[in-house]
Structures are given as structure tokens and as C-alpha cells.
């Protein structure tokens, strides 16, 4: 079968339109990426399970994304299916100090909802443009905090469409990493336990961190957030800056003049432009400081 025929069959399993040759530049925060053969946006875990079972049965390659932050998609796009959870799996269930959130719930929304219920713990995430599903896989963090310690359980859909729950005792989190990368499944729901915090205090913390982001980060341009992992004992942004690389440009991709660990899309940048900047930064930082910067951003698709 060709991709149009696969799309017709998959459409029977989901309410949202199955898109063919979907431009991934529309689904990434960098606004970069070629076409995906198929784009699927399941409305709930039942649809996700049915889609996964179909893809498994037909041996179709696929990849799951959330809000498309921390992601560089190749200019030639993605062969097979992209399963997007952002703006799809977006339900939340609150019970006391716990919340179970769909993988597609955006972190800023969750932080505000928690604050309105006099709960804290998520203020650091109030400006991160990612979804909770991707955040737990990457153990997203900022300002010295990480999402991992808040997680009590994760519901996943395995590659064959089966659902199961992973308890906190089975999870391990590290800097920008977790053992979820070793689990053959897609995150569907995440349960967090949050500390009590007065509403106004929690909202004030969110405002404070967001003000810091506005001052220090190039929010006026599309980006993926931080590009490089911080090496042990130092910060990637500082190493880029002391090497004199602010403003380094390849095509329409540029190291931000505001923050050394951001590469921004000045308009019409390609994945090749961004990779060119990344490689040049790595070479010059290593020559100048001896540090080998490792990308935090995930690169997918065909370049």
C-alpha cells in the first residue's frame, strides 16, 4: 500500500484528520522540518492504542512527538508515521495533591492549574514550551529543578497497543535523561504529586521565572530551547560565549546574541543550517576550552 491507502485505513481509528506529507515545520518550535509521510493526532489512549496496534501489525515505522520542542527534524522529512500528542492527549484529573495529565498537556498550563489549586513544584516549568509526556522522558528542568522527582506513575501504550502503568519504583531519572528511553512504549498519561504552596506564592514564582526567561532568552525568535547539555562543572552557554560565538551564523540559523546556548531561526532557516551551527560551535568550543559539547536537542528524520 502507499501512504494514501495507509492514511485511509488509519482514519478509521481516529477522529482527527490523518495528514499526508505534513510539513513538520508547522509542528516544531524551531519552525523547521520537511514533510512527514503521515501525521496522526490521537484524541485519547484508546485511539493511541488502536493506532499503535495497526502500525505494529503493518510494520510501519513511526516516531512520537509532543509539542516539537527540543527537536530538530531533517529537511527531507520523516518516513513513516509521526504520532503527535500535543493538543490531543490533553485531559487532566486532579485529586488532592496529585494530578494525572495526558501526555500532550503543555507545561505552562499545568503549572498554572497547579498554582490555582494552591499547589507548587512546577513554577520552574511555567515557561518551558514542552508537553508533560516529553518532559518526563527528558527529565526536563530549569533553575535547579527537574520534573522527575514529582512523578509517581506513568501510563504507557506499548508498541503492540497494550496499555500498562509504570510505578515510580521502576523509574530512574538523570540529567536530561530517564530510563523511559529504554521502555518500548509511548507515554500516554503522567501522574504527579505536588507540594502544597499558597496560590499567590506559586503564581508569583511562575511570574518570576518567566521574567527571567524574557530577560535572558531570545523568545522573539523560534528556537528549541537549550541546544547543548551542560558539561559537568560548567555551563554550555558560558563556554559558547567565552569562545566568542554569540551571533555565529550559518544561513538563517544563528547562535543567539542574547544567550549562548540558544540557536535561533532568523526566518527560513533549514535543518542543515542549524546542524552547521551546532558542528561549528562544537569544534570551536573544544579547540578553545577542551570541552566536548553534546547536543541536548534530538535530531530525527532525513537530513
Candidate list 176, 207, 229, 249, residue with the active-site label: 176
Cite the DSSP H helix spans in 81-149. 107-116, 132-138
Candidate list 25, 226, 256, 275, residue with the active-site label: 226
Answer yes or no: 169 catalytic. no
Which helix (H) or strand (E) segment holds residue 57: the answer is helix 45-57
Candidate list 25, 84, 178, 296, residue with the active-site label: 296
- Other Cβ atoms less than 10 A from the Cβ of 245: the count is 17
Answer yes or no: 226 catalytic. yes
Question: How many angstroms separate the CA atoms of 78 and 185, rounded?
Answer: 19
Question: How many angstroms separate the CA atoms of 231 and 272, rounded?
Answer: 25
Answer yes or no: 176 catalytic. yes
- Hey, which residues are catalytic here? 176, 226, 296
Amino acid at each position: 500500500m502507499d501512504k494514501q491507502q495507509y492514511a485511509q485505513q488509519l482514519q478509521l481509528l481516529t477522529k482527527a484528520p490523518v495528514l499526508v506529507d505534513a510539513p513538520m515545520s508547522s509542528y516544531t518550535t524551531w519552525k523547521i522540518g520537511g514533510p512527514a509521510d503521515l501525521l496522526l493526532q490521537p484524541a485519547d489512549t484508546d485511539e493511541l492504542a488502536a493506532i499503535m496496534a495497526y502500525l505494529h501489525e503493518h510494520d510501519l515505522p513511526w516516531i512520537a512527538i509532543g509539542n516539537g520542542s527540543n527537536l530538530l527534524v531533517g529537511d527531507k522529512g520523516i518516513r513513516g508515521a509521526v504520532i503527535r500528542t500535543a493538543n490531543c492527549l490533553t485531559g487532566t484529573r486532579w485529586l488532592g495533591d496529585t494530578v494525572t495529565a495526558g501526555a500532550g498537556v503543555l507545561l505552562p498550563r499545568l503549572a498554572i492549574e497547579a498554582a490555582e489549586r494552591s499547589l507548587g513544584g512546577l513554577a520552574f516549568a511555567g515557561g518551558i514550551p514542552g508537553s508533560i509526556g516529553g518532559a518526563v522522558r527528558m527529565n526536563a528542568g530549569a533553575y535547579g529543578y527537574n520534573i522527575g522527582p514529582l512523578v509517581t506513575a506513568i501510563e504507557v501504550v506499548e508498541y503492540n497497543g497494550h496499555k500498562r502503568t509504570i510505578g515510580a519504583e521502576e523509574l530512574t531519572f538523570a540529567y536530561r535523561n530517564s530510563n523511559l528511553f529504554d521502555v518500548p512504549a509511548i507515554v500516554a498519561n503522567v501522574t504527579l504529586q505536588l507540594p502544597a504552596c499558597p496560590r499567590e506564592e506559586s503564581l508569583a514564582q511562575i511570574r518570576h521565572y518567566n521574567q527571567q526567561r524574557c530577560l535572558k532568552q531570545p523568545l522573539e525568535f523560534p528556537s528549541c530551547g537549550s541546544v547543548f547539555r551542560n558539561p559537568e562543572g560548567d555551563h554550555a552557554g558560558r563556554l559558547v560565549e567565552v569562545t566568542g560565538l554569540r551571533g555565529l551564523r550559518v544561513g538563517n540559523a544563528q547562535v543567539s546574541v542574547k544567550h549562548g546556548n540558544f540557536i535561533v531561526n532568523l526566518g527560513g532557516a533549514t535543518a542543515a543550517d542549524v546542524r552547521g551551527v551546532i558542528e561549528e560551535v562544537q569544534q570551536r568550543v573544544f579547540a578553545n576550552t577542551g570541552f566536548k559539547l553534546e547536543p541536548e536537542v534530538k535530531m530525527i528524520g532525513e537530513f
